[in-house]
């Protein structure tokens, strides 16, 4: 691989190869067995952390690799491509580490970044609320001052991985002494804080990571629980969302690559007429279309990451949205087609594709739905009026 703009650097290529070696050592069977047993992929996460893969984007002075979100996205994609995606990579070392690096105090950086770098600390991220959903301007979870402390009230839903995290980064709206609702900001809430409870949501996704409804019943937090400024509003929150979209895109392209490998392997070997089924254009062409979708999505993801790592937040926003949309479509389409290629075997547990159906579908809904991305592109790229 040469360093010519449209390909990744030699360092990134070497990183991918090293991660692939580790991820394949665990692989799909390990992942599915853990998920079905209700267990976590703890050993895989710990080993990835120890080898520095989870911390590639954490600054070197805090124990990380000093790379960019493009490096972290490459790590995320390779685990997913091995059939062992790590959902919390999208959250803890991506959103939370980025926001703390950019807006945290020195004490917050010292407290969290070394643990993110070696994987020994994890932080969930919560913005979605039952009565707000895609409309983050309608957040009702509130934070108010009481002397030196903060008091957090409200709730969230569909928050991933809370049961395995040390803390949750919560987007909450400030309320002043007159009950006036002010701008939203970010609070670091330990998962064992008194008044904070959470319940799992029963999901049909075969994954070790679970989703939760969170309840904040007047949770009292110290002054330093605030991350960044109370004045910055959603702009500060959104700084973590471009990395989230780039990571979500990599998660999806990894899943798509895994399904494509399965499909092509099967199509080359399964024979029910005189030639392998992969020779029939009815199967070969949809797979070729998926391959094109995956490669386009990967290229856009790499572009979004390059823009973000160059400090171009606004330009990266458009590219990250487009990448995330394209990757989610590539994953959903490829998994569906891989199942089709396998005939009845496509839904047999042994082949591991049926279990991917819901997981591959998540990308069209979270962390931002395909409709909200289309709204973004319609309004920001095409300058069309908004309907909401
Ligand atoms: C597996 C999983 C993990 C998740 N993890 C997290 C997490 O860790 N942290 C977190 O904060 N959230 C998380 N989420 C929540 C996720 O971000 C939301 O589900 C998503 O943003 C959509 O919100 P909603 O479910 O309330 O749907 P709604 O907002 O109710 O939307 C329902 C439908 O209406 C459409 N819609 C809404 N408004 C418009 C509009 N203006 N124009 C066109 N269509 C519209 C949506 O696109 C969608 O199709 C997760 C969700 C899932 C499924």
* Arithmetic mean of pLDDT, 315-341: 97
Looking at residue 3, its pLDDT comes to 58
Percent of the chain with pLDDT over 70: 99
Question: Distance between CA atoms of 356 and 259, rounded to whole angstroms?
Answer: 9
Tell how far the Cα of 371 is from the centroid of ligand 1, in angstroms. 10
**pLDDT per residue over 238-297, tens digit each?**
778 899 999 999 999 999 999 999 999 999 999 999 999 999 999 999 999 999 999 999
Q: Which of 11-20, 46-55, 179-188, 352-361 has the lowest mean pLDDT?
A: 179-188
* Residue 169 and residue 126 in contact, taking contact as beta carbons nearer than 8 Å: yes
Q: How far is CA 308 from the centre of its chain?
A: 16
Domain ranges of the chain: 10-121, 125-232, 240-381
Looking at residue 73, its pLDDT comes to 98
> Per-residue pLDDT for 4 more than 90?
no
**pLDDT per residue over 51-71, tens digit each?**
999 999 999 999 999 999 999
Query: Which pLDDT band, with edges at 50, 70 and 90, does 178 fall under?
Result: confident
Residue with CA closest to ligand 1 atom 1: 362
- pTM for the full model? 0.97
> Per-residue pLDDT for 361 more than 90?
yes
CB-ligand 1 contact for 165 (6 Å cutoff): no
CB-ligand 1 contact for 142 (6 Å cutoff): no
CB-ligand 1 contact for 248 (6 Å cutoff): no
**pLDDT per residue over 87-105, tens digit each?**
999 999 999 999 999 999 9
Residue with CA closest to ligand 1 atom 25: 133
> Per-residue pLDDT for 1 more than 50?
no
CATH class of segment(s) 125-232: mainly beta
DSSP 8-state code for residue 377: I
Looking at residue 136, its pLDDT comes to 86
Looking at residue 219, its pLDDT comes to 98
Q: Which of 170-174, 229-233, 330-334 has the lowest mean pLDDT?
A: 229-233
Domain 10-121 grouped into CATH 1.25.40.10: no
CB-ligand 1 contact for 333 (6 Å cutoff): no
Which long-range contacts link 44-48 to residues 24+ away (Cβ below 8 Å)?
A: 44/79, 44/84, 44/86, 45/86, 45/88, 45/119, 46/119, 47/22, 48/19, 48/22, 48/75, 48/79, 48/86, 48/119
- So what's the architecture of 240-381 in CATH? Up-down Bundle (1.20)
CB-ligand 1 contact for 360 (6 Å cutoff): no
CB-ligand 1 contact for 92 (6 Å cutoff): no
């Amino acid at each position: 691989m040469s360093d010519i703009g449209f390909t990744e650097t030699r360092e990134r290529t070497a990183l991918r190869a090293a991660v692939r070696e580790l991820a394949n050592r665990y692989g799909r069977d390990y992942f599915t067995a853990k998920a079905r047993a209700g267990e976590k992929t703890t050993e895989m996460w710990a080993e990835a952390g120890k080898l520095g893969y989870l911390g590639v984007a954490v600054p070197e002075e805090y124990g990380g690799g000093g790379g960019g979100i493009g490096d972290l996205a490459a790590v995320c994609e390779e685990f997913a491509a091995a059939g062992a995606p790590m959902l919390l990579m999208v959250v803890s070392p991506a959103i939370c580490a980025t926001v703390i690096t950019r807006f945290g105090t020195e004490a917050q950086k010292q407290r969290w970044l070394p643990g993110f770098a070696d994987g020994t600390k994890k932080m969930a991220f919560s913005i979605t609320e039952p009565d707000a959903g895609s409309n983050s301007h309608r957040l009702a979870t509130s934070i108010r001052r009481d002397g030196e402390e903060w008091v957090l009230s409200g709730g969230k839903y569909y928050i991933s991985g809370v049961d395995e995290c040390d803390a949750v980064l919560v987007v909450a709206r400030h309320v002043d002494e007159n009950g006036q609702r002010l701008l939203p900001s970010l609070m670091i809430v330990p998962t064992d804080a008194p008044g904070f409870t959470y319940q799992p949501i029963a999901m049909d996704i075969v994954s070790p990571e679970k989703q939760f409804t969170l309840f904040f019943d007047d949770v009292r937090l110290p002054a330093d629980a605030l991350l960044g400024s109370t004045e910055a509003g959603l702009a500060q929150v959104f700084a973590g969302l471009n990395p989230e979209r780039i990571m979500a895109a990599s998660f999806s392209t990894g899943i798509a690559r895994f399904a494509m490998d399965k499909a092509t392997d099967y199509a080359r070997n399964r024979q029910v007429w005189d030639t392998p089924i992969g020779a029939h254009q009815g199967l070969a062409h949809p797979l070729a279309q998926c391959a094109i979708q995956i490669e386009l999505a990967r290229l856009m993801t790499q572009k979004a990451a390059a823009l973000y790592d160059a400090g171009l937040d606004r330009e990266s926003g458009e590219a990250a949205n487009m990448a995330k949309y394209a990757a989610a479509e590539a994953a959903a389409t490829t998994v569906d087609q891989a199942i089709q290629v396998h005939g009845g075997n496509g839904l047999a547990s042994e082949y591991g594709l049926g279990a991917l159906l819901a997981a591959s579908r998540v990308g069209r809904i979270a962390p931002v739905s395909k409709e909200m991305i289309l709204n973004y592109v319609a309004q920001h790229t095409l300058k069309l009026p908004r309907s909401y």
